[in-house]
Amino acid sequence: MPDKIKELKIKATQLRIDIIKMLSAAGSGHSGGSLSAADIVACLYFSVMRHNPQNPRWEERDRFVLSKGHACPVLYAALAEAGYFPKEELLTLRKLNSILQGHPDMNKTPGVEFSSGSLGQGFAAAFGMALGYKLDNKPGRIFVMLGDGECQEGIVWETAMGASHYKLDNLTAILDYNNLQIDGKVSEIMEIAPIVDKFRAFGWTVYEIDGHNIEEILWALSTERIVAGKPTMIIARTVKGKGVSFMENQVDWHGKAPTPQEAELALKELYEELERLKEDG
């Protein structure tokens, strides 16, 4: 496989390893949605975005907002891997006085752009950032990740309408569409389909991809996919708990951390995958 694709697959697997380690150490947190987002977050931080860990507040940086803030372990893993803070901090997740709380805190954690967690509000904040960049003629892009259950919130659709109205072509949203939320299947609790048609009706350019296919992720995130005057929505079909066999597509793992024994099994699988990737030419 091409070196770039191989490197990003390795990065995503390393993020999953760190997610399991920190959640096990914390004894609480959100496993499923953190693991499902790892490939997309790896592509953003290690290929697509312009950012500087030595200068987190660089004025012209690209920004990433994790609107589904409960999945912050994947964000923390990426920030640590990129060098925003020492990786040892990951094992302090959810501890008192830690810089890594159960939802992202922009005042505590280097590299976190918005204190998200109240569903939909991160999307609205990203809209504001994109509008601000337009008004200030800044060149950066704003990326935001939503959960599929999050799209049941009204604020999502107000934001979608506003971003189209203000022609925010510097805004790219990614929907982590794994079809599971805390209470069960999204399609059974409050169906969001036809999600592609809905965002197109709201004036967005929409792409559908496999959210675990690195080539497709990079294709969708490329500047070449931007249509002038229109925000972009990437519908990424994903698997909740991706990478750990006994977590995949299991709703129970939405908001549960692995026990030490479960973590050992999960890490065995992930380290085997890491070795396979490293040996794969």
pLDDT in tens, 53-104: 999 999 999 999 999 999 999 999 999 999 999 999 999 999 999 999 999 9
**For residue 69, what are the domain limits?**
3-279
Cα 40 from Cα 30, distance rounded (Å): 17
Contacts 24+ apart (CB under 8 A), 84-88: 84/53, 84/56, 84/109, 84/110, 84/111, 85/109, 85/110, 85/111, 87/18
Residue 281's pLDDT band, with cuts at 50, 70 and 90, is: low
pLDDT of the residue at 280: 84
Contact predicate 77/26, CB 8 Å: no
Cα 31 from Cα 19, distance rounded (Å): 8
Q: What's the Rg (C-alpha) of the chain?
A: 18
Q: Which two tokens stand for residue 7?
A: 């490197």
Q: E strand or H helix at 210, and its extent?
A: strand 205-210
DSSP state of 227: P
User: Which tens digits make up the pLDDT trace of 191-227?
Assistant: 999 999 999 999 999 999 999 999 999 999 999 999 9
Cα 76 from Cα 61, distance rounded (Å): 18
Q: CB count, 10 Å around CB of 12?
A: 29
Q: What is the mean pLDDT of the chain?
A: 97
Question: What is the count of structural domains for the chain?
Answer: 1
Rounded mean pLDDT, 45-59: 97
User: Which tens digits make up the pLDDT trace of 228-262?
Assistant: 999 999 999 999 999 999 999 999 999 999 999 99
Kindly report the CATH number assigned to the domain that includes residue 86. Answer: 3.40.50.970
pTM of the complete model beyond 0.75: yes
